[in-house]
Amino acid sequence: MAQELTSEQIQQSLQGISVPAQPQIMVDLQMEQYMPDPDLEVIAKLISQDPGLSGALLKIVNSPYYGLSNKIASIQRAVNLLGSRSIINLINAQSIKGEMNDDTIVTLNRFWDTAQDVAMTCLTLAKRIGAQAGDEAYALGLFHDCGVPLMLQRFPNYMTVLEEAYASASAECRVVDTENRVFNTNHAVVGYYTAKSWRLPEPVTAAIANHHNALAIFSDESLRNSQLKNLLAILKMAEHICGSYRVLGNQTEDHEWNSIGPLVLDYVGLSDYDFETLKQTIRDLGTHR
């Protein structure tokens, strides 16, 4: 998706789906971030105005990932600790939940819980692997499937098709191939344009666009796309650990991981045993529900 598309081409690829507007608080936070010298006190005051975002930020900063000896209860202290760039990525990612959650859609009751699990697991994996900024890994984990609820709002039979897509996932058939066949678009495309319109970092938007294209990306053994590979490796491991294939695909087996897992683990330098140990460690931390 390197080339810029016209607005007409974008609308065609979205198949009538409206990308939700970015919340005003995020616009305000990003305006402050773009200042030559961002004022952390202003950023903290903006976040403090939103109880939901304040609670989410404190939950993240007090998570096992940061390993703080004392719990932080002050938004100002959290902002000072993390810095403006990390705060913007973390809060921007969290905002998508508030903007797009629809309690009337019973089908998605577990969707946001799993998205939060994947995000926290990405954060932990980023620290363990040491090859990727934690805030970007977190943003990707929470944002990567944001196209799913939008697809469901547009196509009432979407979850049935998504289950079919996960069931038929293989080296020859990507999850998004089934969606493209039925809807002429897919949740990765919708998620990409949503993340881009919300001004998420380019590496994160690229990973969202390609998160079901991992086999082709990791099959390329050149040194290209290292940042994309780092993010995708973290995401695909986190999805597998958190059982996205069960929640979204209603599958007992992770067919997609079976086809890409060896390539991902080889890329990050983990054996199957190492990965199983890491998986258990992450679950013991309480990152996964």
Q: How far is CA 66 from CA 1, 60, 168, 285, in A?
A: 34, 8, 38, 12
In whole angstroms, what is the distance from residue 102 CA to residue 124 CA?
28
- DSSP annotation string for 217-262: HHH--SSTTHHHHHHHHHHHHHHHHHTHHHHTT--SS-HHHHHHHH
Q: What is the pLDDT of residue 258?
A: 95
- What one-character DSSP code corresponds to residue 126? H
Q: How confident is the model at residue 208 (pLDDT cuts 50, 70, 90)?
A: very high
Domain spans in the chain, listed from the N-terminal domain onward:
22-100, 104-289
Reading the block at residue 181, the tokens are: 């066949």
Tell the CATH topology of 104-289: Hypothetical protein af1432 (1.10.3210)
Q: Furthest-apart CA pair in the chain: how many Å?
A: 52
- Range 252-271 average pLDDT: 95
**3-class SS at 1?**
coil
Give φ, ψ of 4 to 5 degrees: -85, 130
pLDDT digits (tens, 9 = 90+) for 29-68: 888 877 888 888 999 998 998 888 888 888 888 887 777 8
CA atoms within 13 A on the CB side of 29: 30
* % residues pLDDT > 90 (the chain): 41
With beta carbons less than 8 A apart as the criterion, state whether 125 and 287 touch: no
- DSSP annotation string for 16-60: TPPPPPPPHHHHHHHHHHTSSS--HHHHHHHHHT-HHHHHHHHHH
pLDDT digits (tens, 9 = 90+) for 114-141: 888 898 899 889 988 876 678 889 889 9
More confident: 84 or 263: 263
More confident: 165 or 20: 165
Q: How confident is the model at residue 101 (pLDDT cuts 50, 70, 90)?
A: low
In whole angstroms, what is the distance from residue 265 CA to residue 270 CA?
5
- Range 102-118 average pLDDT: 68
CA-closest candidate to residue 235, choices 136, 92, 164? 136
Q: Name residues whose C-beta falls within 8 Å of residue 228's C-beta, 6 or more positions apart in sequence.
A: 203, 206, 207, 210, 217
Q: What is the pLDDT of residue 288?
A: 47
With beta carbons less than 8 A apart as the criterion, state whether 176 and 209 touch: no
Q: How confident is the model at residue 96 (pLDDT cuts 50, 70, 90)?
A: low
- Range 167-173 average pLDDT: 91
In whole angstroms, what is the distance from residue 126 CA to residue 163 CA?
29
In the chain, the amino acid numbered 234 is: I
Residue 287 has pLDDT above 60, yes or no: no
pTM above 0.85, yes or no: no
Q: Taking each helix axis from N to C terminus, what angle separates 111-129 and 272-285, rounded to the nearest 10 degrees?
A: 120
Reading the block at residue 179, the tokens are: 């969606």
